[in-house]
Amino acid sequence: MDWDDLRIFLSVSRTESLSGAGRRLGMDASTIGRRIARLERAVGATLFAKTPQGYAMTAEGARLVAPAEAAEKAALAAAEATHGEAGISGQLRIGAPDGCANYLLPQVLRDICAVHPGLEIQIVALPRVVNLSRREADMAIAVSPPDTGRLSVQRLVDYQLHLAGHDDYLRAHPPIAELADLHRHRLIGYIPDMIFDRELDYLSETGADSAAITSNSVSVQMQAIRAGAGLGIVHDFALPFAPGVRIVLPQRIALRRSFWLIRHADDRRSRRLTRLAEMLSQGLRAEVARLEARLPADRDRRA
């Protein structure tokens, strides 16, 4: 049985589609289909059933997952032994909420790749929790720690959020001195039924019942604030990327949240992934500190 066919099998099982597996592996869907057919002939069983929703594993396919994952771990261990400590290479997929993915990871990963040019890093920015069990990513960053699953969880860094608006909007609308004044302003926030983590439910901090403009994306919310469409809760580390956007009511609305790094429990034995996790952790802490330090020193006196 060819290990590469098992690698393709695992990718199809995790993405539930030939095209999804092809995108992950850099192969076209027809090639993926032929390789799955070859593997099915080799094992003498149908591994996937095509459904309107995608490729669902059969019972025979489910029985192959454990040995295929064992082969995957062995291949990774062999690669680690071959490369030694000289440098880290290969593909790494990181799942992250889009605030972290947009404003922090590009700089952090730039520095990691400069030290390890053999790395190919993929950032999966999803408006939901990344499913590590299905290997949607090798590791994930989340805004709250999971309470189920065989996972390794590490607190990465704390960060701050405040209510903010663009100068153009603030000049054109009534002054804001108290929380009650917000009722005369448009608010920007998350679509309520698409908040995938309780830590993202910021609206209650403003005392408002609803927002006029909503999105499941932090970046879209920030762009709406930059356009002068209203006020919204923003990450302090994103403010240096948004000229003209400034904090309002800092004494009344100030939030603190944390990023957590989540990995498979079994991956703790991987020296490669452990080294990458350490670099990611150090880089994120340094980048949050750098960006938050770029805010004006008088931010806490702003009204």
For the chain, give the percent of residues with pLDDT over 70. Answer: 91
Q: Whole-angstrom Cα distance, residue 168 to residue 241?
A: 17
Distance linking the first and last C-alpha atoms of the chain: 67
Domains, the chain, with CATH or none:
3-83 (1.10.10.10), 90-157+258-292 (3.40.190.10), 160-255 (3.40.190.10)
- CB atoms inside a 10 Å sphere around CB 260: 16
* Per-residue confidence band for 230, with pLDDT thresholds at 50, 70 and 90: very high
129 has a pLDDT exceeding 80: no
Handedness of CA 77, 81, 82, 83 (dihedral sign): positive
State residue 80's pLDDT score. Answer: 54
* Per-residue confidence band for 97, with pLDDT thresholds at 50, 70 and 90: very high
What is the overall mean pLDDT for the chain? 87
207 has a pLDDT exceeding 60: yes
* DSSP codes joined into one string, 136-183: S-SEEEESS--SSSSEEEEEEEEEEEEEEEEHHHHHHS----SGGGGG
Mean pLDDT across 149-178:
93
State residue 303's pLDDT score. Answer: 46
CA-based max dimension of the chain: 73
Closest CA to 111 of 289, 268, 280: 280
104 has a pLDDT exceeding 50: yes
203 has a pLDDT exceeding 80: yes
Q: Which amino acid is at 149?
A: G
**Residue owning tokens 């770029």:** 294
Which two structure tokens, joined as six digits, stand for 252? 């009344």
Decide: residue 92, CB within 10 A, 0-12 exposed, 13-18 middle, 19+ buried.
Answer: buried
State residue 302's pLDDT score. Answer: 43
Q: Which residue has the higher pLDDT, 53 or 298?
A: 53
Closest CA to 144 of 261, 38, 232: 261
Q: Whole-angstrom Cα distance, residue 66 to residue 32?
A: 20
pLDDT digits (tens, 9 = 90+) for 9-44: 888 988 888 988 888 788 889 999 999 999 999 999
Helix (H, G, I), strand (E, B) or coil at 90: strand
159 has a pLDDT exceeding 90: yes
State residue 92's pLDDT score. Answer: 86
Q: Whole-angstrom Cα distance, residue 93 to residue 124?
A: 7
Q: What would you report as the CA-atom Rg of the chain, rounded to the nearest whole angstrom?
A: 23
- Name the β-bridge partners of 164: 232, 247
269 has a pLDDT exceeding 80: no
CB 285 within 8 A of CB 157: yes
Decide: residue 117, CB within 10 A, 0-12 exposed, 13-18 middle, 19+ buried.
Answer: exposed
* Per-residue confidence band for 297, with pLDDT thresholds at 50, 70 and 90: low
Q: Which amino acid is at 25?
A: L
CB 114 within 8 A of CB 84: no
